[in-house]
Amino acid sequence: MKKTNSTNAKAKKSARSEGKSKSTRKKMDALEKKKIIASLTLMDDIFMQVVLEEQACTEYILQTILDKSSLKLMEQRLQKRLPNLHGRALVLDCLCTDEKGLLYNIEVQNSSAGAIPKRARYHAALMDTHTLKKGEKFSKLPESYVIFITDKDVLGEGEQLYQIERVIRKSGNLFKDGSHILYFNTARQDDNALGKLARDFKEANPKEIQSKVLSHRVASLKEGKLDREGEKKMNVLLEKYRKKAVEEGIEKGMEKGIEKGIEQGIQKGLEQGKNHLALLIGRLLEAGRMDDLKRVSYDEVYREKLLKEFGL
């Protein structure tokens, strides 16, 4: 009888201990979520997608970049897939149409490699392919804008806004094919409307965002003013964010393994990149270094620096 009582007491103690452990993990998870959410900016493409679900935000961004205050959107689609039976497909961050039937593709690019000119050309080409219906005249092709919002000055000429058009070389006149490509360089923050928007894109605190429509939207997402559906979307966002950071780190790890000529080949480079990145992410989360956690997903040089810092 005494043994039974002793066993029951141990079982209860173990259950209480396990319950406390689960409670602690939940608190840690909640704290981790808050830290990650608090550090997000509009330059985080996954977070940007959630922000743009409020169409007024998309309108404001386009109105500011294109200097068209009267621009009104009729339709927008986020993460729109453009299939290609004969080649590479695309998934567009944001594809929208205004009242006049003009097409706009907005892409947030933190990596210079993701914003090379030929990618912009391909976006424009595939948009055209999916717009003109079979048998329609080419004159029916709508005017289109491909807009890359970049973290750095990808084109390297110091401009705040690059507006790329085809021209007739001899005369210098516009070719007028209706295709427009723009690069919005958020690294240049002049004292004008574009400069204010650039600062808003890199501001994590909604109270410091100057645009009312963007500030209100970011605050509603970060401060928990969400219904069940909104809460669900934010949780999905966090999972995508973690997954993206890991996947990009694995890919970079594999590339680094190839460059160094690791004897075991690509597989070992992949495994090493995965293991090292997983350990690094864990260390950064424990230290609450959310800005560093974001940066390691796309900055290879900085990631190597942190790996050395933590002895990994």
| CB crowding 140-176: b at 16 or more within 10 Å, else e | ebeebbbbbbbbebbbeeeebebebeeeeeeeeeeee
User: Of the segments 80-89, 146-155, 227-236, 271-280, which one has the largest average pLDDT value?
Assistant: 146-155
241 pLDDT more than 50: yes
Mean pLDDT, range 42-55, rounded to an integer: 91
The pLDDT confidence band at residue 26, using thresholds 50, 70 and 90, is low
At 73-87, the pLDDT tens digits run: 999 999 999 999 889
Which burial class, exposed, middle or buried, applies to 235 when counting CB atoms under 10 A from its CB (0-12, 13-18, 19+)?
Answer: exposed
Residues 6+ apart with CB under 8 A from 98: 62, 71, 72, 73, 74, 104
Which burial class, exposed, middle or buried, applies to 8 when counting CB atoms under 10 A from its CB (0-12, 13-18, 19+)?
Answer: exposed
Place of tokens 């830290």: 35
The pLDDT confidence band at residue 66, using thresholds 50, 70 and 90, is very high
Work out the number of other CB atoms within 10 angstroms of the CB of residue 254.
20
Reduced to 3 DSSP states, what percent helix, strand and coil does the chain have, rounded to the nearest 5? 55, 15, 30
The pLDDT confidence band at residue 168, using thresholds 50, 70 and 90, is very high
pLDDT score of 262:
45
For the chain, what is the mean pLDDT? 83
Which burial class, exposed, middle or buried, applies to 299 when counting CB atoms under 10 A from its CB (0-12, 13-18, 19+)?
Answer: middle
Which is more confidently placed, 83 or 245? 83
Going from N- to C-terminal start, the domains of the chain cover 45-222, 228-309
The pLDDT confidence band at residue 11, using thresholds 50, 70 and 90, is low
Q: Which helix (H) or strand (E) holds 24?
A: helix 2-39
At 175-201, the pLDDT tens digits run: 999 999 999 999 999 999 999 999 999
Q: pTM score, two decimals?
A: 0.70
Q: Where are the alpha helices (DSSP H) in 40-151?
A: 45-51, 55-66, 117-129
Q: Which helix (H) or strand (E) holds 16?
A: helix 2-39
Lowest mean pLDDT among 92-101, 147-156, 295-304: 295-304
The pLDDT confidence band at residue 127, using thresholds 50, 70 and 90, is very high
pLDDT score of 28:
46
Q: Where are the alpha helices (DSSP H) in 82-161?
A: 117-129
130 pLDDT more than 80: yes
pLDDT score of 138:
95
3-state secondary structure of 185: strand
Q: Which helix (H) or strand (E) holds 241?
A: helix 228-259
User: Of the segments 29-33, 108-112, 233-237, which one has the largest average pLDDT value?
Assistant: 108-112
pLDDT score of 14:
58
